[in-house]
């Protein structure tokens, strides 16, 4: 049991070190491709990805 746990622990630490070194995050962010035109809407209110947040009390 001790050996198995030690092996698992070393694998875990190795995985942690590798993930942190290569900049991996646990959360999966939303990904996609932005339309070329968005860079032309510098001052506008046009949202291509508006999720409709209605926060507040």
Partner 1 sequence: MTVANCPACAAPIEFAIGSSAVVVCGYCRSVVARSDRGVESFGKVAALVDTGSPLGTGMRGSYRNSAFSITGRTQMRHEAGGVWDEWYAAFDDGRWGWLAEAQGRYYVTFQTGAQVPEYEQLQLGARLAEVDGLMVSELGSASLASAEGELPWKPLPGESYRYADLTGGEQKFASIDFSETPPLVFKGYQVTLSELGIDAGAARTRGADLVQLNCSNCGGPLDLRAPDRSERIICPNCGSAFDVSAGKLQFFKLLKQKKVEPVIALGITGTIDGTAYVIAGFMQRSVKFDMTYYWTEYLLFHAEKGFRWLVHSDDHWSFVEPIAPGEVFDAAPLGVAKSVGWKGQSFRLFQEATARVTYVIGEFYWRVTVGEAVNTVDYVAPPFGLSKEVTGGKAPEIAWSYARYMQPEEVETAFTLKERLPRPSMVGPMQPYTGPKLGKTWLFLLVLLIAAAVLLAVTRPNRLILDQSFDLAPPSWSAATPAPAPPSADAPTNARIFLTEPFELNGNQNIRIDGRTGLQNDWLYVSGDLVEERTNALTGFEMEFEYYSGIDGGERWSEGSRDETAFLSAPPKGRYVLRVEAQWNPQAKATPDLHMTVREGVFRWSHFILALLALSVIPLLAMIRQVSFESQRWKESAHSPFGNFESVEDDDE
Task: Name the minimum Å distance from CB 7 to partner 1.
Answer: 10
Task: Name the minimum Å distance from CB 37 to partner 1.
Answer: 10
Determine phi and psi for 38, rounding to 5 degrees: -65, -25
Task: Name the minimum Å distance from CB 5 to partner 1.
Answer: 5
Answer yes or no: are the C-beta atoms of 34 and 48 closer than 8 Å: yes
Give contact residues for partner 1 (rule: CB under 8 A): 1-2, 5-6, 8-10, 12-13, 16-17, 19-27, 29-36, 38-39, 41-47, 49-51, 53, 55-57
Tokens of 5: 């746990």
């Amino acid at each position: 049991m001790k050996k198995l746990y030690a092996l698992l622990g070393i694998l875990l630490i190795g995985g942690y070190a590798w993930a942190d070194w290569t900049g991996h995050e646990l959360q999966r962010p939303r990904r996609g491709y932005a339309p070329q035109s968005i860079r032309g809407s510098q001052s506008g209110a046009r949202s291509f990805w508006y999720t409709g947040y209605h926060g507040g009390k």
